[in-house]
Structure formats: structure tokens, C-alpha cells
Amino acid sequence: MASEWCIGIIGGSGLYAIDGLEDEQWIAIETPWGEPSDDILCGTIGGVKVRFLPRHGRGHPISPTELNSRANIDALKRAGCTDILAISAVGSLREEIDPGRFAVVEQFIDNTRKRENTFFGSGFVTHVSMADPVCPRLSDMAAKAVSKAEGKVATGATYLAMEGPQFSTRAESRMYRAWGADVIGMTAMPEAKLAREAELPYALVGMVTDYDCWRDGEAVDVAEVIAQMEANGELARAMVANVIDALPKKRKPSPIDTALDDAVITAPDEHDPDMMAKLDAVAGRLLRDL
């Protein structure tokens, strides 16, 4: 297992760049799943390898439903990432999680419907566990990094992933609250599932831009969302810097590094060579042992 950190940063709405990157260069990475959202910005911060991918592309041309999350995760794996810290704009479903606060996500409810959500299929069937979908080590570092940057942070949040690109109806928003969701967004699924399939420890920090429309007489206003996203961006960049600064010198193995070990169910004599060829990055460690 890798003993050296290589941190993948997925920047969501409001985070289109990171500070302090040295020896930076944009690198195009081809994947068997199509084109990722953008080239990957590669460099180092304090000697730590960093790979930055703007989730919606530079200039935000890609809608949530049209994101190619398989290509994004595959590209980050090919770029050498050992762990992924994802940042995403979210709406709040709880009074106490107010706009401007950051929410470190612990659980997900996937209510998306139109997205390719797995690298695997017929000829190489796997079932990875998503019971605990984020990396506790990286999530804890992210929460501490927000506090160090003097930001407000909520931990243990449940994220409702909706399809979009429209915002919720008021009835939907209230239903999501009844389901136990704390924040709502359009991009973390299937991203988190695919990261687990690629054996990449994943943490998600939601930047709260607004209250979703569950409150009487209020609706999501895009202008207000954008203004809050811009305000959140500076804190997000400081958080990223603090996470990287706090990384231990050596990366200890994570159980997520071997998430596929007990996940494959297809018998060896039924393996599809074409599918396995596409999995050379995301499942390369496993395939080498078969």
C-alpha cells in the first residue's frame, strides 16, 4: 500500500482553484469511461502531491446530471491519488446548519436516477460495502481544518443527493427532512460510490449556501447562492491548505485501500477480458493478484 500521500481535491461550485500549489501543470488524462470534467491540475503543497479536478470544469459548463463521475474518479486514480477530499455546495435542511457553515458528511441518501453509478457489470460483478461511505480519518482532518481556519463546521451530516438541475419542490424538501437528511446537493452521488469502488478513501465537505425551500415563504435564490459560494471559497481554500499541512509524514494503510477484496462475486472462468481491461486503473491492485 502507498505510504506517500497524493491528495485528490474535487472542487465543486465555488471552489475552482486552490492556493499555494507549486510546480503546477494541467495534465489531460484519458480514461476508458470517456472524458473527465477537465484536465487535472497537478503539483505539490508543502511537499505533498496534490491533484485538483474542477468537478464542473473550468467556467462551470457541465450540469450535475451530465457529470461523468466514472471518468473523473478513474482519472484521479490514474493520476496517482491515494485519497480524495471533495468539496461541494449544498443547501441546508436543518435550522442549525446555517448558510456559511461547512458540513462534513458522514452518510448519503442517493435519490439520483439518470447516472452511471458503477465501474462494474456483467463479466466482473462486484458489490462493495457502502455502510460507512466516507473515510473517517480524512473527514476528521477536514473538520479540524475548517475550525483552524476559523470557520463554523457541523459534523456527522447526512447528504441527500438529488438529480437536478432544478431545485426541490417544497414538498420534496420537507420529505427529505423527514428522511433524516441534513444537507442537499446534486453531485456527491455516484461520486462517493465510485470512489469506494476505486479503493480511494473519500471525504466530502459541504459548503452551505442557503436553506432549502422547506421553510415557509422561502425559496432558493440563485443570486444569493452564488454570493454565498463566493464567500465560502476563501474558507474552502484555507481548509484544503490546513488538511494538507496536518497530514502525517507517512500514510498508514486504510481499510478502504482493499475495499474490493471481498466484493467480487463473478467466478474466475466467467471474467470478461474486455471489462477487466477497462478496470486497469480503478481495480488494478486486485487484478494483479488474480
Q: What is the DSSP secondary structure assignment for residue 229, as one 8-state letter?
A: H
Residue pair 231/253 in contact by the 8 Å Cβ criterion? no
| pLDDT for the residue numbered 64 | 94
Q: Is residue 101 part of a domain?
A: yes
Q: Is residue 200 part of a domain?
A: yes
Residue pair 107/158 in contact by the 8 Å Cβ criterion? yes
CA distances from 286 to 5, 197, 254, 257 (A): 20, 11, 16, 10
With 60 as the cut, is the pLDDT of residue 1 above it?
A: no
CA distance 239 to 245: 10
| pLDDT for the residue numbered 287 | 92
With 90 as the cut, is the pLDDT of residue 3 above it?
A: no
Q: Is residue 290 part of a domain?
A: no
Q: Which residue has the higher pLDDT, 274 or 221?
A: 274
Range of the domain at 133: 6-285
Question: The domain spanning residue 146 has which CATH number?
Answer: 3.40.50.1580
pTM of the predicted protein model: 0.95
Name the domain count of the chain.
1
> Which tens digit of pLDDT belongs to each residue from 11-55?
976 676 788 889 999 999 999 999 999 999 999 999 999 999 999
User: What residues are annotated to the active site?
Assistant: 210, 212
| pLDDT for the residue numbered 289 | 76
Q: Is residue 1 part of a domain?
A: no
- Lowest-confidence segment of 77-81, 222-226, 278-282 by average pLDDT: 222-226
Residue pair 158/106 in contact by the 8 Å Cβ criterion? yes
CA distance 239 to 104: 12
With 80 as the cut, is the pLDDT of residue 214 above it?
A: yes
Cis bond before residue 99 (omega within 30° of 0): no
